[in-house]
């Protein structure tokens, strides 16, 4: 630590030293108090008891007895207080050193975390519930920061890859056009436009997921019947499903409760899930979109289940992360940015709901389930 003039700041005693000094002052004050009370109260009480007991025939004998008492009392009290003071200081020294070491270990670990070493963990100090909670909270913070840093690095790497591919394609074709190797025919124009659309879509997706996760998406909530949203979402993708040869089944229960939601945003979520299911379901497969009343909450449960590729168990907890892909090469071929599910999850949570996924494994399909609360 440095002062504003650049000179090193003077560092005072550490926490252990301050605690030991404070306890020593308390012990010293207690010792002096005990000594003063014993020195002033003891002789007076002793003299009164001598008088009441008629001990000593002459004043000289009484004075001699009082002097004997004061001497014995001073020696015994001094030894007792000195022994108590030494024992108390020893215990205080041991305790303050333990506390000081624990605080120092947390401070050192915090410095390591600040330097990017998120694998650092603080051992349990064994100094009570407060220090146990502090160590546990620190370790949880380190784990969370490590996870955030991993996600950040993966996000930057994937974002760089997503941008590099269309930019490289555009650059290569532009150079070919400049060198006269290629001509600006309809096919080349469409390819260039597809790459620019891909960049624009990536930019829009990143902005959408950031706004959704930060709660900055404008919601136009109103009371609606959920079956109308489900039907509209299924109608929007019916042609694409028919073209690929995937069966789209609708299973909408009767008597669903009305909900307060933004139909366009929930339609966006369902559309994303239906598009995702179509990409991962081969021709001849089936995708079922259903809506039922949740028996636990009384809200509405929407689900999109497919008979497609499925998701391995180790990937399930990552599917809602930005840019995460179970099969990256296949998704890039189909034009996915890897952000759609993150957007869907953020939009559902903005409605106070939950979006979850389940899959028995590879080749056994997957089910995405939305739980929306009653209005």
pLDDT for res 46: 60
pLDDT > 80? residue 208:
no
State both tokens at 261: 């939601």
Q: Could you tell me which of 228, 145, 195 has the C-alpha nearest to residue 332?
A: 195
Q: Which residue has the higher pLDDT, 35 or 299?
A: 299
Confidence of residue 335 (pLDDT cuts 50, 70, 90): very low
pLDDT for res 245: 93
Q: What is the pLDDT of residues 98-157, one digit of tens each?
A: 776 777 777 777 787 777 777 777 777 666 677 778 777 878 888 778 777 776 776 676
248, 287 Cβ separation under 8 angstroms:
yes
pLDDT > 60? residue 10:
no
Q: Which residues pair with 300 in a beta bridge?
A: 293, 372
Domain 151-213 in CATH 1.10.287.130? yes
Instruction: Check: pTM over 0.75? Answer yes or no.
Output: no
pLDDT for res 332: 45
The single residue listed with the structure tokens 């913070």 is 141
| Distance (Å, whole) CA 135 – CA 125 | 8
Give rounded-to-5 percent helix, strand, coil for the chain.
60, 10, 25
- Residue 86 CB-half CA count within 13 A: 5
User: Residues 165, 167, 172, 173: what is their CA dihedral angle, to the nearest 10 degrees?
Assistant: 110
8-state DSSP, 4 = T
Same fold? 151-213, 223-372: no
Class of domain 223-372: alpha beta
pLDDT for res 218: 72
Q: 90: Cβ–Cβ under 8 A, 6 or more apart, which residues?
A: none
Domain ranges of the chain: 15-117, 151-213, 223-372
Q: Could you tell me which of 231, 284, 228, 234 has the C-alpha nearest to residue 261?
A: 228
Q: Could you tell me which of 113, 116, 81, 98 has the C-alpha nearest to residue 16?
A: 98
Q: What is the pLDDT of residues 211-256, one digit of tens each?
A: 666 666 677 888 999 999 999 999 988 888 999 999 999 999 998 9
Q: How far is CA 340 from CA 55, 133, 213, 238, 354, in A?
A: 101, 38, 13, 20, 16
State both tokens at 352: 């106070």
Cα–Cα–Cα angle for 215, 218, 221, rounded to 5 degrees:
105
């Amino acid at each position: 630590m440095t002062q504003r003039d650049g000179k090193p700041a003077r560092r005072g005693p550490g926490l252990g030293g301050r605690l030991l000094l404070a306890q020593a002052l308390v012990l010293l004050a207690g010792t002096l108090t005990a000594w003063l009370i014993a020195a002033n109260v003891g002789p007076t009480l002793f003299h009164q008891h001598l008088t009441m007991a008629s001990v000593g025939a002459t004043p000289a004998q009484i004075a001699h007895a009082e002097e004997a008492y004061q001497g014995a009392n001073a020696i015994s009290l001094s030894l007792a207080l000195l022994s108590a003071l030494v024992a108390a200081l020893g215990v205080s020294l041991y305790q303050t050193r333990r506390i000081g070491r624990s605080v120092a270990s947390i401070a050192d670990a915090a410095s390591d975390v600040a330097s990017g070493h998120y694998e650092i963990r603080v051992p349990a100090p064994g100094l009570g519930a407060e220090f146990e909670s502090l160590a546990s909270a620190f370790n949880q913070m380190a784990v969370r920061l490590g996870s955030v840093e991993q996600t950040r690095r993966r996000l930057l790497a994937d974002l760089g890859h997503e941008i590099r591919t269309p930019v490289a394609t555009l650059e290569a074709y532009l150079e070919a056009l400049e060198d006269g190797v290629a001509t600006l025919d309809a096919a080349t124009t469409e390819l260039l436009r597809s790459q620019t659309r891909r960049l624009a879509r990536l930019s829009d997706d990143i902005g959408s997921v950031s706004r959704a996760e930060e709660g900055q998406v404008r919601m136009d909530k109103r009371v609606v019947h959920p079956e109308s949203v489900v039907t509209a979402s299924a109608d929007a993708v019916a042609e694409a499903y028919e073209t690929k040869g995937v069966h789209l089944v609708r299973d909408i229960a009767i008597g669903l409760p009305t909900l307060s939601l933004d139909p366009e945003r929930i339609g966006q979520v369902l559309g994303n899930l239906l598009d995702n299911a179509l990409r991962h379901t081969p021709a001849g497969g089936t995708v079922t979109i259903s809506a039922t009343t949740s028996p636990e909450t009384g809200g509405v449960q929407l689900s999109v289940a497919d008979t497609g590729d499925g998701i391995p168990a180790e990937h399930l907890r990552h599917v809602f992360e930005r840019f995460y892909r179970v099969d990256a090469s296949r998704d890039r071929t189909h034009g996915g940015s890897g952000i759609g599910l993150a957007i869907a999850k953020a939009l559902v949570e903005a409605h106070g709901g939950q979006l979850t996924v389940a899959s028995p494994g590879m080749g056994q399909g997957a089910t995405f389930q939305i739980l929306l609360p009653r209005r």
